Amino acid sequence: MSTPSNTSPRAGRLQALRAAMARHGIDAYIVPSSDPHLSEYLPRRWQGREWMSGFTGSVGTFIATADFAGVWTDGRYWTQAETELAGSEIALMKIPSGASLLHIDWLAANMQPGQTVAVDARVLGLAVERLLREALTARGVTLRTDLDLLDEIWSERPSLPTEALYEHVAPHATMARADKLAATRAAMKALGAERHFLSTLDDIAYLFNLRGADVSFNPVFVAHALLEGDGATLFVAEGKASTELQARLREDGVRLASYDAAEKALAALPAGSTLLLDPRRVTAGMRQAVAEGVKIVEAINPTTFAKSRKTEAEAAHVRATMEQDGAALCEFFAWLEATLADPNRAPLTELTIDERITAARARRPGFVSPSFSTIAGFNANGAIMHYRATQASHAVIEGDGLLLIDSGGQYLGGTTDITRVIPVGQITADHRRDFTLVLKGMMALSSTQFPRGTKGPMLDAIARAPIWAAGVDYGHGTGHGVGYFMNVHEGPQVISPSASPDPHTAMEPGMITSIEPGIYKPGRWGIRIENLVLNVPAGQGEFGEFLRFETLTLCPIDTRCLDLDLLQPMEKAWLNDYHAQVRERLLPHVTGSAREWLELRTRAL
């Protein structure tokens, strides 16, 4: 594996930031991994934390003082951050599981009374701003939220994205825009609100049946929205909607306004009116823009619940999409195994994996783009949970070991996310043991039946139990919600020990969630097995309504990596049944070597 260079302009940027801090009398400056929409994946304009630090993970907070600089991130990124921060003065501040706001504690402990901390309110979540202000005020520290120091020092800062909007239409859009708007207004009325302001991009894309390409891998667009009783305003950059699209939006009472007019619209709301805001899904800057005298109703965005509960029609499209995605994977894995078996082949790298798996998906109907940057990690790279091969740093796949491939696709009829691990050359008994433990965890949760309304975080231990029994654990959540031709990470449900079992995490019919336990041995190998599952009814009786998981993902799990002695008869039966379903549903979609590979890899144990 080649070694990335540590030469970067970080030192100059940090020096410029400290000079700007001194000009404004700021003792500490915070750069979160965020934008005005609190997105997980950011348009380039708001990738300030990465620009300042060089750390490319999707989660992290950068803080600079006159004599300190650090990035706070969780265990998924520690190995990556150590590599990317090496050679700089920026320290890695490790966040233990469940302590995502540890940087606030650090500021409260290290700032002195009378000092000033600053952060741009336009990219700071309202709920986080409240916690930060409370902690600093208790220490006699001032919090300023009116400064965007990056704008002062980032001379080549990217502008707003300009990609055009397009409609998500029938048959894949199974509910009309007018019906979604009516349902949201009914939810507003039930909460006692006349108006509703939204900033989260997936909520907006869902509500208006629109899609875009402003954020890599997620088919969303940069916008705010204000929903009223008799209409709605979509705040987007000029030129993003065609004349024809604007006319169709007007038919549903939707008008367009410039992106930067959102704050002015909030400031112009009449006194005495009521506005619904989700404090977890709106920035402090937008809350500060609301006119005085407006009554704020705080509750989760109704669209967050609505889009998480896929309709029967949407679920049918997802099942069809999974067949196409599975067929593409059969083609890819047939090529990969044939290539690995060829003694005269050209060198095969992790970068080639990404190219070939994306090409296989692109040949399938309805494919739009990958749903995230493919993770192809061979041996030690597989132990980096969110590893990404680059031209500067990647491995050649040769010799013996395990290859982890985590990939997904955006299709008009759904979003996919799957992880598989295959053997390369000879593998060891330790490889087989770890692989089997991970599979046992995945099967245990996949087979679970649970009461409707069970909080997602409560299910996490079921997948970990077989792994814990061996004295092993993994440093990430077991599952995340997945959108419908939308973000590959979607709430409100989550299966993770670091998430609070709040009411909004309740498992409801129609939700699609990943199940992806893993084992990671730093410097040696990583194993993760991931399927997507759908919450479906499992019957109702004396103790209420129960749900179970329907496995959606269709791709063989490599039995060459198994230690069969560790599997119970019921576990072998589960795997055989799964492979029989995979074979039955994918055979009509594959031919030639892909068909031969599918039949081989789905043979019963």
Q: What are the tens digits of pLDDT across the range 277-315? A: 999 999 999 999 999 999 999 999 999 999 999 999 999
Q: What is the pLDDT of residues 420-456, one digit of tens each?
A: 999 999 999 999 999 999 999 999 999 999 999 999 9
Task: Tell me the pLDDT band of 267, cut-offs 50, 70 and 90.
Answer: very high
| Predicted model pTM | 0.92
Q: What is the pLDDT of residues 326-385, one digit of tens each?
A: 999 999 999 999 999 998 888 899 999 999 999 999 999 999 999 999 999 999 999 988
Structure tokens at 260: 């930067």
Alpha carbons 435 and 17: distance in angstroms, whole number:
46
Mean pLDDT, to the nearest integer, of 210-217? 95
The predicted pLDDT at position 83 comes to 86
CATH homologous superfamily of 309-601 = Creatinase/methionine aminopeptidase superfamily (3.90.230.10)
Alpha carbons 15 and 66: distance in angstroms, whole number:
9
Question: 562's torsion region: left (phi>0), alpha (psi -120 to 50) or beta?
Answer: beta
Across the chain, what does the average pLDDT equal?
Answer: 94
Alpha carbons 415 and 103: distance in angstroms, whole number:
33
Q: Are strands 525-528 and 518-521 parallel, antiparallel or unpaired?
A: antiparallel
Domain boundaries, the chain: 10-153, 166-307, 309-601
Task: Tell me the pLDDT band of 2, cut-offs 50, 70 and 90.
Answer: very low
The predicted pLDDT at position 498 comes to 85
The predicted pLDDT at position 79 comes to 82
pLDDT higher than threshold 70 for residue 6: no
Q: Which of 559, 518, 327, 530 is nearest to 419 (CA)?
A: 530
The predicted pLDDT at position 5 comes to 39
pLDDT higher than threshold 70 for residue 97: no
Q: CATH code for 10-153?
A: 3.40.350.10
Q: What percent of the chain has pLDDT over 90?
A: 89
Q: What is the pLDDT of residues 508-529, one digit of tens each?
A: 999 999 999 999 999 999 999 9
Mean pLDDT, to the nearest integer, of 59-82? 90
Q: What is the DSSP string of 185-251?
A: HHHHHHTT-SEEEE--HHHHHHHHTEE--SBTTB-----EEEEETTEEEEEE-TTSS-HHHHHHHHH
Q: What is the pLDDT of residues 449-468, one digit of tens each?
A: 999 999 999 999 999 999 99
Q: Which of 32, 127, 125 is nearest to 502 (CA)?
A: 127
pLDDT higher than threshold 80 for residue 8: no
Q: Which CATH architecture has domain 166-307?
A: 3-Layer(aba) Sandwich (3.40)
Q: Within 10 Å of residue 347's Cβ, how many Cβ atoms?
A: 8
Dihedral, CA of residue 205, residue 206, residue 211 and residue 216, to nearest 10 = 70
- The type of residue at 166 is Y
Angle between helices 312-341 and 569-586 (to 10 degrees): 100
Is the fold of 10-153 the same as that of 309-601?
no
Q: Which of 385, 366, 351, 333 is nearest to 168 (CA)?
A: 366
Alpha carbons 54 and 45: distance in angstroms, whole number:
15
Q: What is the pLDDT of residues 377-411, one digit of tens each?
A: 999 999 988 788 788 788 899 999 999 999 999 99
| Least reliable range by pLDDT among 4-8, 55-59, 168-172, 430-434 | 4-8
Highest mean pLDDT among 87-91, 123-127, 596-600: 596-600
Q: What is the pLDDT of residues 556-576, one digit of tens each?
A: 999 999 999 999 999 999 999
